[in-house]
Chain A
Amino acid sequence: MVMPKLSIAFLSGKGGTGKTFVSTNFANSIESATYVDTDVEEPNGQIFFPSTDISSKNVLVKIPEFDREKCTGCRACVDFCKYNALIFIKRPFLVAEVCHSCEGCYHVCEHGAIKLVNKKIGEVETSIYNGHEIISGKMEVGQMSGTPIIKSAKETATSDLIVVDCPPGSSCLVLEAIHSVDYCVLVVESTSFGFHNFKMVYEICKSLNKQFGIVINKYDGVNTLVTDFADKNGIEILDIIPFDKEINDITSSGGLISNKPLYATRFNKMYHNILKQIKLGDNYE
């Protein structure tokens, strides 16, 4: 079966629900799938795909540099900067840590006194594990925003199925991570806290018209907050993974449960369930 390029994002709202656990095992279960870690502030997916051969490329953004000869001191750039990254004390200065690289100052300068120069904000690392392309975005300490790294990490992927492991929360970083993906898997913990933050990413997926389903992780068999909500709103529950000692032991020692055929089958079923749902939708050819 020839598939068009497909990307599936795993997100959660609350940290620690198991985005990385589910997405690493999911990618590992589907032949030649690419795993992309977009949690650029603290990526850890690489731990589960050990490799000694990691290649890396820099992620650069543009920041302004001022030509003191050409600058007339008109302050147009300083007044334009909504991030307050520019100050004017006899001449313009950049507070680089606050700059969002919007390049606006460059465009408003009528005197050609600003040129844009490269600044490194992070790296994208690539390795291979059992035929899987493993990509990881890493942000440098002290940088303002990791969204360009997420974009670069996703663009690095070359296979026909791209598994995107999202950052926690519901911030700009998450929006960048799920931008242009075909399907979202909402990993949720069946606790009141987990449910609360799940609803935040649920709202995001709804407002972006994303197709999505739920994976309940660490299920205790008691709390029905998530299952009730899914029933009421007609949301597909893709899988319910129990709170289980063996799963915990394998994962906490850096292993993938999907290296066991029983679990690999389970994640494969999840994949086919997702494919079925995408086919039912409108934007699948």
Chain B
Amino acid sequence: MKYILAANDKDVLANISPVFARAYYFAIYDTETKEVKFVENEASQSQGGAGIKAAQIVVDLNVDKLIVMRLGENSYNVLKLTDIQILQTPSDSIENIFTNCENNELDELENISKGFHGHA
């Protein structure tokens, strides 16, 4: 299984990014190899529609679970078209969050953030 979360530093000891779409990186954890890989989040520099693009990147990476602190409406609307499970976490280190996820200690995301969409 593969888990993904948004990160602002390429360091498993650093905390998860509080925002999803405009984080600099995504951290991907593979439960088979126990390895964490970082990829750039190309959506972070988008003028608009970053939430949609970031969700698309997550979809294209073929992951099973996405872990977020919070998630915007546009990202959610894309992800709900897929089988990707969305889990919620309080702020914590990337390493701890992946461990908690593997131990099934994270709950499903309940609320989505309305954000500031459409405020040009």
Contacts and interface: CB of A to CB of B under 8 A. Distances in A.
B81 A98 contact: no
Contact of A85 (B43, B52, B117): B52
- Name, among B49, B50, B78, the residue most crowded by chain A CB atoms within 10 Å (CB to CB): B49
B82 A95 contact: no
A171 interface: yes
Contacts of A144: 118, 120
Nearest to B82: A89
A13 to B, nearest CB: 16
- Name, among A82, A97, A144, A171, the residue most crowded by chain B CB atoms within 10 Å (CB to CB): A97
B49 A85 contact: yes
Interface in A81-115: 82-85, 87-89, 93, 95, 97-98
Nearest to A141: B118
A172 B55 CA distance: 28
B9 to A, nearest CB: 25
B77 A95 contact: yes
Nearest to B79: A89
A171 B46 CA distance: 19
B120 A95 contact: no
Interface in A207-237: none
A34 interface: no
Interface in B29-72: 43, 46-50, 52-53, 55-56, 59
Given A89-B59, A95-B77, A145 B120 contact: yes
Contact of A98 (B43, B52, B59, B82): B52
10 contacts: A83-B48, A84-B48, A84-B49, A87-B52, A89-B78, A89-B82, A95-B74, A95-B77, A98-B48, A144-B120
Interface of A: 78, 82-85, 87-89, 93, 95, 97-98, 142, 144-145, 171-172
Q: Which 5 A-B pairs have the closest CB atoms?
A: A84-B49, A84-B53, A84-B52, A98-B49, A89-B81
